[in-house]
Amino acid sequence: KEFVNIKGINVYEVKRWTKITLTERLHGVIPPLPTPFLHGQLDEAGIEKIVRYLINEKVHGVVILGTTGKFQFLSESDKQKVIDRVVGLKQNGFKILAGTTGNSLKETIALSQYAEQKGVDAIVLAPRYETYLPVVEYVKGVMHNTNVPVVLYNNPFITNGVHVDAAHATMLLAH
């Protein structure tokens, strides 16, 4: 029943880290990264500026492409650019968690595999379904197609009221 609390919302580990647990690997300050825009376009220089600032301020990592990052308003190409820019700035010990939730399971798997290939430390899923069973199938689908740790963002507002508690997360770990 391992979880961390990000922004007051429980986030459950749904795939074991190799040899080291999630709470041992993730510690300190890991803020969600906003996605900056300039003149209606993704501001890649702005992303670098924010990440460099956070690294200089000694944060321990960032969560990119989450709800704060307005992932739902970005094209797949822009999501890949955000991943590329942030991973390109990665330093020793700096953790990158990438939100890879898409409009479909296929889209989510593709972005999750891209993020994994680029070297993120974990992917974050915020599946949007109205019942628990599709959430399980969605998460299992991603887990079966990636090797990077998966973090389930338990936010009933995002999941249309579905609350994934520790018992449900434990069931996912069994798959």
Per-residue pLDDT of the chain (175 residues; tens, 9 = 90+): 344 444 444 444 444 444 345 555 677 888 999 999 999 899 999 999 999 999 999 999 999 998 777 778 899 999 999 999 999 999 888 999 999 988 888 999 999 999 999 999 999 988 766 666 677 788 888 988 998 888 887 777 766 677 777 776 666 666 5
Does residue 129 contact residue 121 with C-beta atoms inside 8 Å? no
Q: Output the pLDDT for position 98.
A: 96
In terms of Cβ atoms closer than 10 Å to its own Cβ (0-12, 13-18, 19+), residue 115 is buried
Q: How many beta carbons lie within 10 A of that of residue 81, not counting itself?
A: 15
Q: Output the pLDDT for position 63.
A: 93
Q: What are phi and psi of 166, to 5 degrees?
A: -60, -35
Q: What are phi and psi of 46, to 5 degrees?
A: -65, -40
Q: What is the pTM of this model?
A: 0.82
Q: What are phi and psi of 44, to 5 degrees?
A: -65, -35
**Pair of tokens at residue 75:** 């094209």
Does residue 159 contact residue 139 with C-beta atoms inside 8 Å? no
- For residue 94, the one-letter residue type is F
Q: How many beta carbons lie within 10 A of that of residue 94, not counting itself?
A: 18
Q: Which residues of 7-19 are buried (b: 16+ CB within 10 A; e: fewer)?
A: eebbbbbbbebee
